[in-house]
Structures are given as C-alpha cells and as structure tokens.
C-alpha cells in the first residue's frame, strides 16, 4: 500500500511536467489501494502567489487527479500548507541544534557569493566550511542586533549516501562533496529540503515520485531523515520530457514564439500591443530586444491580441486549446512510462488498473504534439454525447466564444456534425459562423479569389443560382440540401466542390467549416439566403460579368 504525495510550490499555473508527477502519484497510490496526498510547499515567500495554490488545485481537478488527503479535503496530518506548519518545523530544527547536528551561521548573500567565486577561481565546487565550534545563543543574539542574516545549516555526514531509485537503480553520492544544507532561512521559514523531509515523515509518505531534477536533492534528504530518526521512503525520479525543439518544456518557449512573431510582423501598433498585455512600452521593448520576459498573463494577452497560438505548457493552455483532460492524462501517462498493454488509448481507470512500477523509462521522452492531437481525437470519440456537450460548454466559456450562449440542442447538432475533430477549438472555429452576425462575417481573400471570382466569377454565378434552388426546396434539412447540391453538380457536370464551396464561403467567409449540408441546415434558410445576397453584392463588381 503506497502513500504518495504531490508537493507543488505554488508559483503559478500547474505545468505539464507537474501534472505528470501528480498523475503517477495517483496511479501508484490507487493501484496499491493506498492514499494520495496533496501538500502545498509554500515556504518560499518571494515566489508564492496568493492565487496559485487554488489554480494548481483547479487544474488537478480538471484533469481528474483527485487527492485523498490535503487542502479542501482535510486529512490526519493537517494543515497541508507548509506555511501553516512553522511550529512543527521549529521543533525539529531545535532537535537538530540541541544534538549538535545543525548550527547557526551568519553570512550575508554577498559573503557567500564571494566564497563561491573563490571556489570557482580554483575550479572547485563550493563547499561551505563548517566552523570548528558552533555559534551559541549569545552569538545569535549579537548577530541579530547587528542586522546580520541568521540561518541554520545541517551537518552533512561525510559518508557515502546511496539513493536506491526505482527507475535509476543505485545512485551514489559522497556526503563530503555536499555543502551543509541550509534548513532554516533568515525569514524564519524552513527551506524546501527541510520541510519536505519533515512532512514526508509526518504525512506517512512511503513513495516519493518526482522529476529527475530533484535527484541531486535526495542524498541531503536521506541524510536529514537519518539524523532525525525518520524512515526513508522509496524514491522514483522520473526522466525528463523535452519539447520538440529539444529543450525543457518551459514557459520561456511561449515567450520565445511570441517574441519571434512580434519581430516578424510589420506595422504593429506597439503601444496597443503593450497595453493589451498590461505592460508599458519600455517593458515591451526590453522583452523584444533583451532577455526580459513578461509574466504569463501578459504573454497570453499579447498572443490573444495578435490572434496567434503559442505552444501549450501549462495545463490551462491545453484547456484553452481545446484538449480534453482524458486525452492529456492518457498522453502524459506515456511520457517516460510504457503501459503494459497492447493499446495506447487508455482511460484513467485503465491506467490505474494496469499500473506497473517496473515500466518507467530512464531515457528522456519527447513531447510529441501530433500524437497528443491524435489522442485528443480518439478521446473526443470516446465521450458520450452528454459528456462531450458538458466539456464543450466549459471550453466555450473559458475561451469566451460567442457560442457559449447557444442552446444545448444546437450545440449538440454542432458536435454531431464535427465527428473526427481533433480539438474542441477546431469545432468552435468551424462553427463560429453560426454564432456570428451576418455583417461580422470576415471573408478570406484568397478563398474569395479562388472560389468566387476565378473563371469570370463562376462561383458567384453559381451562388445566384443556388439561392433560387434553396428557396424552392419544399423542406429544408441536411438530406434535401445534399440532394439538391448533388443534383445541381450533376446537371452542370462539375464536381460537388464547385457547387458547395461558393455556398460555404458565402455563409462562413472561408472554405473551412463543418460539413456543408448540416451547416446550411443549422444556419437556416433565411440566414443562408441573406448571406448569399450579401456576398453577391459585396463581390459582384469585382468581376467583369454582371451578376444579378
Ligand atoms: N516543491 C517541490 C517542487 O515543486 C517538490 C519537489 C518534491 O516532490 O520533493 O518542485
């Protein structure tokens, strides 16, 4: 029975890598009939944002990764916010100080930097020199009066420390090559290392699953556990996921894509762009020409202003791009892990049922966005009509789509006509014409040239004819529309596209929409005829031949 924990530092949105860790925490706990704990590691006061913990929890819940113990649900080791557990940490800090396993020190950041530089000049790793005698209580008082920083360091043992990792096997570290860890900071908060070790013990954590980047922290954690008389949990450090560009999946990727797009676009109103992002023009200029990076909401808002898509990194980005949580869960479960089954499209329950901790991979995994898209398509197909409708409505709300106000019956028809769509965003884009006023339809000029104006306005002539045929239909439904369009194509000895594309362009402004028969049926006769007339009027003078 495994008790696992996901322990995010709430600095922003839940990152895709964090979601993967949380998912494996859940899988491991559920498969073994154990418990999954959520703990918020908010001891770094300079990096915490007040709303971030809630955001992380919302993102986890959206993914369907529900914790058994933690904030909002409670549990035996409450509270689950580390910032509310300072008394607990202080007790253990005192224990280490009293037993001579930890000591106070007073260096300033500048002094430490100096020491680091000296070590670097000698091409050595910086190891903090432990004093022969430790400062006593009156030294601490004196240091405080002098306004010096007061921190507590833990005496790292000299011996070899072996991390017995489920994924990586035995990894050995020399204690003598690791600096005495700071365990209590000048602001009175414990460091991540210390709070993490204390809480893993007090929360009964048996298995620590986390990213490979934490492997180097583990020997320090094991040494602390020994010094405090705690148990050492089982460790599994999961391999890294790299983006298609080769680097780590980071929010910098999004900023980089945005920066390139800004640099390439001409005649951009920079003042307007900056104000869309809620930053000033100097900040925008520093972003474009230097290393400065605006925060996530600013980057997102500027991308929206430019109508551009950025590579998704955080869970909300995927939500806003129209991915289903089921698809994301399936996809991240196969990053650095191979499920012992002969199919790839798996539900959360199947992932739990088949979970096998010997199936983790040591090598980095590639975040293959094409594969994610195809998973999304498969999971859209797997949902019942009602489930899909409810997911779709959530999506429409979050992207502020005009379709969000539509009634369920129409949205259900849209979804039915969207079979094979890869994302919810694709469905929304292809059906926007249904929720757009006639005079707000934007025509794609390339499509207009090709489909309407080419060949002396063949498409426009076709539209004029189509209008009459549509009017003459005794009943309007997708079947009668299909018969009429096919009949007309046959009569004129042309492919269906020559008849259907002008019609599509007239109602949507582009040649990409839902299937045409259903599209006309959903839009209705009146609106279709109105749009045909508007289109003819708008483009008739662009060709020589006269169109009535
Ligand atoms: N708070 C740490 C992080 O967000 C947790 C690391 C761990 O799982 O121990 O990276």
- Radius of gyration of the chain from Cα atoms? 31
Task: Kindly provide the b/e burial profile for residues 311-325, where b requires at least 16 CB atoms within 10 angstroms of the residue's own CB.
Answer: bbbbbbbbbbbbbbb
CA distance 222 to 217: 9
SS3 of 130, please? coil
CB 310 within 8 A of CB 342: no
For tokens 């600095």, the residue is: 11
Q: What is the pLDDT of residue 548?
A: 46
Atom of ligand 1 lying closest to residue 210 CA: 8
CA 229 vs. chain centroid, Å, equals 39
Class of domain 85-238: alpha beta
Q: What is the pLDDT of residue 546?
A: 45
Cis omega (within 30 of 0) for bond into 79: yes
User: 438-542, what's its fold?
Assistant: Arc Repressor Mutant, subunit A (1.10.10)
Question: Residue 343 to residues 241, 383, 422, 423: CA-CA distances in angstroms?
Answer: 22, 18, 19, 21
How many Å lie between the centroid of ligand 1 and the Cα of residue 52? 15
Contacts of 496 by beta carbon, 8 Å cutoff, 6+ apart:
485, 486, 489
How many Å lie between the centroid of ligand 1 and the Cα of residue 199? 12
How many Å lie between the centroid of ligand 1 and the Cα of residue 9? 6
> To test ligand 1's pocket by mutation, which of 23, 25, 28, 41 has the most ligand atoms within 8 angstroms of CB?
41
Question: Residue 165 to residues 173, 195, 199, 282, 406: CA-CA distances in angstroms?
Answer: 13, 21, 20, 48, 53
* Residue boundaries of the structural domains of the chain: 85-238, 252-310, 319-357+367-424, 438-542
**Cα 510–512–514 angle (5° rounding)?**
125
Active site residue: 31, 94, 117, 251, which one? 251
CB 192 within 8 A of CB 9: yes
Nearest residue (by CA) to ligand 1, atom 6, is 7
How many Å lie between the centroid of ligand 1 and the Cα of residue 195? 11
How many Å lie between the centroid of ligand 1 and the Cα of residue 547? 68
CA distance 160 to 236: 20
Residues with CB under 6 A from ligand 1: 7-9, 41, 192, 196, 210, 214
Backbone angles phi, psi at 85, to 5 degrees: -120, 20
Dump the DSSP string for 76-127: TT---BGGG-HHHHHHHHHHHHHTTSEEEE---HHHHHHHHHHHHHTT----
Can you name the residues that pair with 165 across neighbouring β-strands?
169, 235
Dihedral over Cα of 523, 526, 529, 530: its sign:
negative
How many Å lie between the centroid of ligand 1 and the Cα of residue 361? 20
Supply the DSSP symbol for 244: T
Atom of ligand 1 lying closest to residue 200 CA: 9
Nearest residue (by CA) to ligand 1, atom 5, is 7
Q: Provide the residue-wise pLDDT of the chain in tens; the chain has 548 residues.
A: 999 999 999 888 899 999 999 999 999 999 999 999 999 999 988 777 778 899 999 999 999 999 999 999 999 999 999 999 999 999 999 999 999 999 999 999 899 999 999 999 999 889 999 999 999 999 999 999 999 999 999 999 999 999 999 999 999 999 999 999 999 999 999 999 999 999 999 999 999 999 999 999 999 999 999 999 999 999 999 999 998 877 888 888 889 999 999 999 888 999 999 999 999 999 999 999 988 899 888 999 999 999 898 999 999 999 999 999 999 999 999 999 999 999 999 999 999 999 999 999 999 999 999 999 999 999 999 999 999 999 999 999 999 999 999 999 999 999 999 999 999 999 999 999 999 999 999 999 999 999 999 988 999 999 999 999 999 999 989 899 999 999 999 999 999 999 999 999 999 999 988 999 999 999 999 999 999 999 999 998 877 544 44
For 159-228, the three-class secondary structure string (H helix, E strand, C coil) is CEEEEEECCCEEEEEEHHHCCCCEEECCCCCECHHHHHHHHHHHCCCCEEEEEHHHHHHHHHHHHHHHHH
**CATH for the stretch 319-357+367-424:** 1.10.1160.10
Atom of ligand 1 lying closest to residue 6 CA: 8
Atom of ligand 1 lying closest to residue 41 CA: 1
CB 59 within 8 A of CB 13: yes
Atom of ligand 1 lying closest to residue 209 CA: 8
How many Å lie between the centroid of ligand 1 and the Cα of residue 182? 17
CB atoms within 10 A of CB 333: 23
> To test ligand 1's pocket by mutation, which of 81, 205, 210 has the most ligand atoms within 8 angstroms of CB?
210
> To test ligand 1's pocket by mutation, which of 194, 196, 212, 237 has the most ligand atoms within 8 angstroms of CB?
196
CB atoms within 10 A of CB 335: 23
> To test ligand 1's pocket by mutation, which of 6, 9, 193 has the most ligand atoms within 8 angstroms of CB?
9
CA distance 145 to 139: 10
For the whole model, what pTM was predicted?
0.92
**CATH for the stretch 252-310:** 1.10.260.40
Supply the DSSP symbol for 482: H
Q: Which tokens belong to 69? A: 């113990």
**CA-closest candidate to residue 21, choices 1, 37, 44:** 37
How many Å lie between the centroid of ligand 1 and the Cα of residue 299? 25
**Cα 426–324–33 angle (5° rounding)?**
170
Residue 251 catalytic? yes
How many Å lie between the centroid of ligand 1 and the Cα of residue 226? 20
Atom of ligand 1 lying closest to residue 213 CA: 10
CA distance 309 to 304: 8
For tokens 């980095």, the residue is: 364
């Amino acid at each position: 029975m495994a008790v696992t924990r996901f322990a995010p530092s709430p600095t922003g949105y839940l990152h895709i890598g964090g979601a993967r860790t949380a998912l494996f925490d859940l899988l491991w706990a559920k498969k073994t009939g154990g418990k999954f704990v959520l703990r918020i590691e908010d001891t770094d006061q300079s990096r915490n944002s007040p709303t971030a913990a809630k955001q992380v929890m919302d993102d986890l819940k959206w993914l369907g990764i529900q914790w058994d113990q933690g904030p909002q649900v409670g549990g035996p080791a409450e509270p689950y916010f580390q910032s509310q557990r300072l008394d607990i940490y202080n007790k253990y800090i005192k224990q280490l100080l009293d037993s001579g396993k930890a000591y106070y020190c007073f260096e300033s950041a500048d002094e430490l930097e100096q020491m680091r530089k000296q070590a670097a000049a000698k091409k050595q790793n910086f190891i903090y020199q432990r004093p022969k005698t430790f400062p006593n209580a009156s030294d601490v008082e004196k240091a405080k009066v002098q306004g010096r920083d007061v921190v507590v360091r833990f005496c790292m043992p000299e011996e070899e420390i072996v991390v017995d990792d489920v994924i990586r096997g035995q990894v050995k570290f020399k204690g003598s090559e690791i600096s005495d860890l700071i365990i209590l900071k000048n602001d009175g908060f414990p460091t991540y290392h210390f709070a993490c070790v204390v809480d893993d013990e007090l929360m009964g954590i048996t298995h620590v699953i986390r990213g490979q980047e934490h492997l180097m922290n583990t020997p320090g954690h094991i040494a602390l556990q020994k010094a405090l008389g705690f148990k050492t949990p089982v460790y599994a450090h999961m391999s890294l996921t790299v983006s298609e560009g080769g680097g780590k999946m980071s929010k910098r990727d999004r900023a980089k894509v945005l920066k390139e797009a800004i640099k390439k676009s001409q005649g951009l109103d920079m003042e307007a762009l900056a104000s869309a992002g809620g930053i000033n023009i100097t900040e925008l200029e520093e972003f474009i020409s230097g290393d400065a990076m605006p925060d996530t909401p600013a980057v997102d808002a500027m991308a929206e202003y430019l109508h551009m898509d950025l590579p998704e990194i955080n869970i909300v980005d995927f939500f806003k791009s129209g991915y289903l949580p089921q698809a994301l869960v399936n996809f991240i479960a196969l990053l650095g892990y191979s499920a012992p089954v002969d199919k790839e499209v798996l539900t959360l329950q199947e992932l739990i049922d088949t979970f096998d901790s010997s199936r983790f991979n040591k090598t980095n995994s590639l975040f293959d966005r094409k594969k994610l898209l195809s998973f999304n398509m498969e999971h859209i197909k797997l949902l019942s009509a009602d489930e899909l409708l409810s997911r779709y409505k959530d999506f429409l709300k979050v992207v502020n789509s005009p379709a969000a106000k539509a009634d369920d019956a129409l949205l259900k028809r849209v979804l039915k006509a969207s079979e094979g769509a890869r994302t919810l965003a694709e469905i929304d884009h292809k059906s926007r014409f249904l929720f757009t006023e006639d005079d707000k339809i934007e025509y794609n000029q390339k499509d207009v040239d090709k489909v309407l104006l080419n060949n002396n306005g063949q498409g426009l002539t076709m539209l004029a004819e189509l209008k009459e045929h549509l009017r003459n239909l005794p009943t309007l439904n997708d079947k009668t529309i299909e018969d009429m369009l096919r009949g007309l194509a046959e009569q004129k000895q042309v492919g269906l596209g020559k008849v259907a594309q002008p019609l599509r362009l007239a109602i949507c402004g582009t040649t990409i929409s839902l299937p045409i028969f259903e599209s006309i049926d959903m839009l209705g006769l009146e609106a279709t005829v109105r749009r045909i007339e508007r289109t003819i009027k708008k483009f008739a003078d662009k060709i020589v031949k006269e169109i009535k």
